[in-house]
Amino acid sequence: MIEFKDVGVRRDGRELFAGASFQLHPGHKVGLTGNNGTGKSTLFALLLTRMGTGDTEVTLDKGEISIPDSWHVAHMAQEVGATTQTAIDYVLSGDEQWYEINAALNDLSSVSDDQIGVLHQQFDEIDGYRTPTKAAQIMAGLGFNTSQHELPVEGFSGGWRMRLNLAKTLMSRADLMLLDEPTNHLDLDAILWLETWINAFTGLVIVISHDQTFLDNTVGHILHVEQQKITLYTGNYQQFIRTRHERMAQQQQAFEKQEATKAHLDDFIRRFRAKASKAKQAQSRIKQLERMAELSPMMADNPFSFRFYDPANMSSPLIELTDADIGYSDTPLLYNANVQVTPDTRIGLLGMNGAGKSTLIKALVGELGVLKGSYNVSDTLKLGYFNQHQMDILDPKATPIEMLRRLAGKTSDAMLRSFLGSFDFRGDRIDTISELFSGGERARLTLALIVWQRPNVLVLDEPTNHLDLQMRQALTIALQGFEGAVVLVSHDRELIANVCDELFLVHDGQIDEFDGDISDYGKWLAEKRKQENTSDKSNGKKKSKKDNKKFVSRETNDTQVKSQANNKAATAAAKAAQPTLSKEEQRKLAAEQRKLTAPIRREIEEIEKSLAKIADKLASLETKLADTELYEESRKADLLVLLNEQAALQQQHSDNEEKLLLAMTTLEEMEAAVK
């Protein structure tokens, strides 16, 4: 096991840990959490230093760390250098023992006859003949196809190099595995596969992640770093939140902030429940929102407090793709796409890696023209588009306030600084050039610039990459309150479940509404993989020995491609011929309902604001009434004034609560009548 005894660490003159004591055992799956800058990466570096590896040496100021001498550690680094080594060889090098023996067996010039026998015995003992198959399975799980195995590492983009780095780490015969943000560059399919792999791993895993669903599904312990303390909690992330809440509630000030956050989240639950149908997707969203109420303590000390401005004006539809073939050059990837984005649209796009989600996104925002069919946008369209490219094109030499000033014109510096502060750009960070920012800071700045421009359609392609848990939660709450349309691609299942009203599946060249929620998609995906594995095994039996090579040729059979294209076109034509319910009519009905109920919803909002103001005044009065001097005979007149004011406010509060109940009942009846 790993044991920390009263460990203290300082770096750059700042105390990170003081009196840290805990034990981690083989088989434990541990989530390492804490705000940015609290020392999570330092803890990894400390473990690597104690095990004689790692690039950064960290020394103890006090205490002891005990780690078995026989343990081997695997660490997922955050950078992968360019190399001409093939992808499969790079992944195989993660199994150092196999790699060394295999290299020796492939070059026997410096090996004696006696050593050859020993090498073969060792190779057999480590099950070396199956190791290349294991590497191929890991690569497949992370989204690589066999035609990419022989490509050089330097030929892959940065995100795909990180996947290769993760694959190499997973190949290690490690007792301790340290994974730093392993899901950052993965799509949802790969994340689901990684969850299965981690759960099957027999060693100790410590993972840093900002994906709370991933943590819930993989870890049984949380190691939380906060205020120079490291606390070990038993249970997954949800259980950690509840336990931490109980501890924080002992401090009155923290408790009051948590309750305020809960009230804000309860408001969303109440609003959504009032207009939710009994559809499976809607009920799933309500359950997720109820879960968010339990997670509210994480927002108590959240530095992010932004919201999306209400759009200036909107018409319907805002974006429309009709019978569109979408692809590159003259080769369609998607056929007969019909997507309509109205002010009420909240779509989550699902699909396997390479199915065409990003292609569809590019078509919706106008970056990619349609090959057939039509693409139309409203004159009132004001697009807010977030993807990795937007982050990369930030002016590297400009500060956040300079970039915002270019959009804001004559707006005062005080207002701009206040706005940037809601995204946690404060103090020196407001005046720091963006090339010095971390990935998370660049993502926050990009979102801030989008919010300022008051879009009426948000198209978000993996917006949570690089964002920590607090920013993800703040983004979720902001999107729930957004009055415009949302089209979302994300591997963050919490975000999809809490924001999207409908899910579309991009698969086999088609775009169809997905009948189920985000958890059902995981089941669908598992079934598809099962079918593909069965198909692969069947095809494998038909191969001749000549075709059964270690690597698959990258050459493409033109006849096969044409056949697949013809099959997709035939499938699309068959689907187009089938009678379907009109999505346009459904959206028009939703828009009509929204218009009819707008006055009563505004009334509810005004009553709630009034209740909040009365509650603040009552709280202020209670503070005054707690003054013992007020009850002296000489202060009797002052006491009566305050008591009368309190009684009047309490009556106003009661009257407003009755109005709110009546208004919400009216809203429910109106929406039920429309349906």
d(CA 608, CA 602): 10
Both 89 and 122 in a single domain? yes
pLDDT of residue 566: 46
CA atoms within 13 A of residue 434's CA, in its CB half-sphere: 23
Does residue 276 carry a pLDDT above 60?
no
When pLDDT is cut at 50, 70 and 90, the band that residue 584 belongs to is: low
d(CA 24, CA 232): 9
Domain boundary among 202, 231, 260: 231
Residue 450 or 120, more confident: 450
When pLDDT is cut at 50, 70 and 90, the band that residue 256 belongs to is: low
pLDDT of residue 206: 96
Both 657 and 619 in a single domain? yes
Domain boundary among 488, 507, 530: 530
Percent of the chain, pLDDT > 90?
33
pLDDT of residue 549: 30
Residue 588 or 455, more confident: 455
CA atoms within 13 A of residue 71's CA, in its CB half-sphere: 22
Residue 672, token pair as written in the block: 């039920």
Both 148 and 112 in a single domain? yes
Residue 214's identity, in one-letter code, is F
Both 380 and 438 in a single domain? yes
d(CA 182, CA 471): 18
Looking at residue 309, the DSSP 8-state letter turns out to be P
Does residue 452 carry a pLDDT above 70?
yes
Both 361 and 225 in a single domain? no
* Mean pLDDT on 348-352: 91
- Short-list 24, 81, 74, 69, CA closest to 53: 74
Domain boundary among 530, 554, 572: 530
Residue 555 resides in a domain: no
Cα-atom radius of gyration of the chain, to the nearest Å? 29
Both 114 and 85 in a single domain? yes
Domain that holds residue 441: 319-530
Both 348 and 453 in a single domain? yes
| H-only helix segments in 106-157 | 113-125, 131-141
Least confident of 257-271, 358-372, 598-612: 257-271
Residue 47's Cβ-count burial label (10 Å; 0-12, 13-18, 19+) is buried
Residue 592's identity, in one-letter code, is E
Residue 307 resides in a domain: no
* Angle at the Cα of 302 from the Cα atoms of 296 and 304, rounded to 5 degrees: 120
Both 178 and 168 in a single domain? no
The number of angstroms, rounded, from the C-alpha of 517 to the middle of its chain's C-alpha atoms is: 17
Does this model's pTM top 0.75? My answer is: no
State which of 269-283, 560-574, 630-644 shows the largest mean pLDDT: 630-644
Does residue 179 carry a pLDDT above 90?
yes
Residue 655 resides in a domain: yes
* Mean pLDDT on 563-576: 45
CATH value at residue 40 = 3.40.50.300
pLDDT of residue 567: 47
What pLDDT digit, counting tens, does each position of 216-245 carry? 999 999 999 988 889 999 999 988 988 877
When pLDDT is cut at 50, 70 and 90, the band that residue 587 belongs to is: low
Residue 330 resides in a domain: yes
Residue 567 resides in a domain: no
Both 417 and 494 in a single domain? yes
Residue 551 resides in a domain: no
Both 128 and 248 in a single domain? no
When pLDDT is cut at 50, 70 and 90, the band that residue 672 belongs to is: low
Both 66 and 137 in a single domain? no
By residue count, the chain amounts to 675
Number of domains in the chain: 5
d(CA 371, CA 358): 16
* Mean pLDDT on 375-382: 94
Does residue 675 carry a pLDDT above 70?
no
pLDDT of residue 590: 66
Residue 545 resides in a domain: no
When pLDDT is cut at 50, 70 and 90, the band that residue 446 belongs to is: very high
Residue 552 resides in a domain: no
Cβ atoms 366, 341 nearer than 8 A: no
Both 248 and 227 in a single domain? no
* Mean pLDDT on 193-202: 93
Does residue 178 carry a pLDDT above 90?
yes
Does residue 284 carry a pLDDT above 60?
no
